[in-house]
Amino acid sequence: MIDYWKRVAGDPRAEKEKLEEISPVNEAENFTAPVLLIHGKDDTVVDFTQGRIMERAGKDVTFVELKDEDHWLSQGETRIETLKAMSDFVDQYIGE
């Protein structure tokens, strides 16, 4: 898995500066639209703390924590929870 991410995104040690430049967490202060963050607590692709950092950026953020869930939404219950959160978010900010 790590080799894949090194090929796709870059080596975090060798290309730290490049990766910091493109990391969404470093652009959070520039967000102007409301943000919906849905993050699996057991995500092994994107560390859960990254979601919390984005949440604390001081913007209009809705954070949905999915307990016992991974990056791919492998559980049916969590997929339903995710779809409901997305629907509620769109209803809140765009309207029914």
Quick one: what percent of the chain has pLDDT higher than 70?
A: 95
Instruction: Please give the Cα distance from 4 to 65 (Å, whole number).
Output: 26
With a CB cutoff of 8 Å and minimum separation 6, the contacts of 27 are none
Name beta bridge partners: 50.
Answer: none
Q: What is the pLDDT of residues 24-63, one digit of tens each?
A: 888 888 888 999 999 999 998 888 998 898 888 877 899 9
What's the pLDDT score for residue 21? 80
pLDDT band at residue 1 using 50, 70 and 90 as cut-offs: low
Tokens (6 digits) for 51? 């979601």
Write down the domain spans for the chain.
Answer: 2-93
41 and 70 Cβ atoms separated by less than 8 Å: no
Q: Model-level pTM?
A: 0.76
What's the pLDDT score for residue 73? 94
With a CB cutoff of 8 Å and minimum separation 6, the contacts of 88 are none
CATH of domain 2-93: 3.40.50.1820
Lowest-pLDDT range of 1-10, 20-29, 76-85: 1-10
Tokens (6 digits) for 96? 């029914």
Give the sign of the dihedral formed by CA 34, CA 40, CA 44, CA 49: positive
Q: Is the pLDDT of residue 5 over 70?
A: no
